[in-house]
Amino acid sequence: MITIDDILETNRMITENKLDVRTITMGISLRDCAHPNIDKFCQNVYDKITKSAEFLVKTGEDIETEYGIPIIHKRVSVTPIAIAADACKTDSYVPVAEAMDRAAKEVGINFIGGFSALVEKGFTHGDRVLIDSIPQA
C-alpha cells in the first residue's frame, strides 16, 4: 500500500535529487526478417521495427504521466545485423543501417542499437560485411 509519505518522498526525489528513469529499451528479434535480397531484407527490418515499436514512445510518455517520473531515453535494440543479414547476397550493409535509421525516426525513438557483430570467436561472412560497412554507415 502506497502511503502519503511514499508519495512525498518520491516528489522530493524528483524535485531535489532530479530522479528520472534513464532509459526504456525494447528488444526486437530480426531473425525472421532474413532474405537473400538486401532490399527485401531492409524492408522487412523497417516493417518489423516500426510495427513492434509503434507505441513505445507513447507508452513511455504514459508511464511518465502516470508516475510523474521523466523517462529520458526511449530506445530499441535489435538482433546484431551481422547475424540477421547473413543470408543477404550483398557486400554492404549500409542500406540496412539506413533502414534502421528511417525506422527509428518513424517511431520517434532517440537511439537504435544493433548495427553490430559478435566476433569474439571469429568472423563469419556477415561479420566481415558489417565491419566493412561501418565507415560508410
The residue among 124, 96, 102, 119 whose CA lies nearest residue 40 is 96
Residue 16, all three cell numbers: 531535489
> Do the domain assignments include residue 14?
no
> Do the domain assignments include residue 9?
no
Number of domains in the chain: 1
> Do the domain assignments include residue 111?
yes
The residue among 49, 23, 44, 25 whose CA lies nearest residue 33 is 44
> Do the domain assignments include residue 129?
yes
Q: Which residue has the higher pLDDT, 63 or 35?
A: 35
Distance of alpha carbon 131 from alpha carbon 30, whole angstroms: 19
> Do the domain assignments include residue 34?
yes
The pLDDT of 107-132, averaged and rounded, is 94
Any residues with CB less than 8 A from the CB of 136 and at least 6 apart, and which? 92, 94
Domain that holds residue 74: 19-133
Burial of 77 (0-12, 13-18, 19+ CB in 10 A): middle
pLDDT at residue number 7: 76
> Do the domain assignments include residue 119?
yes
Distance of alpha carbon 94 from alpha carbon 100, whole angstroms: 10
Expressed in percent and rounded to 5, the helix, strand and coil fractions of the chain are 50, 15, 35
pLDDT confidence of 91, banded at 50, 70, 90?
A: very high
Residue 47 has pLDDT above 80, yes or no: yes
> Do the domain assignments include residue 28?
yes
Residue at 135: amino acid letter: P
pLDDT at residue number 66: 87
The pLDDT of 77-106, averaged and rounded, is 97
Q: What is the reported pTM?
A: 0.84
The pLDDT of 64-93, averaged and rounded, is 92
Residue 12 has pLDDT above 90, yes or no: no
> Do the domain assignments include residue 27?
yes
Q: Which residue has the higher pLDDT, 17 or 75?
A: 75
Residue 99 has pLDDT above 90, yes or no: yes
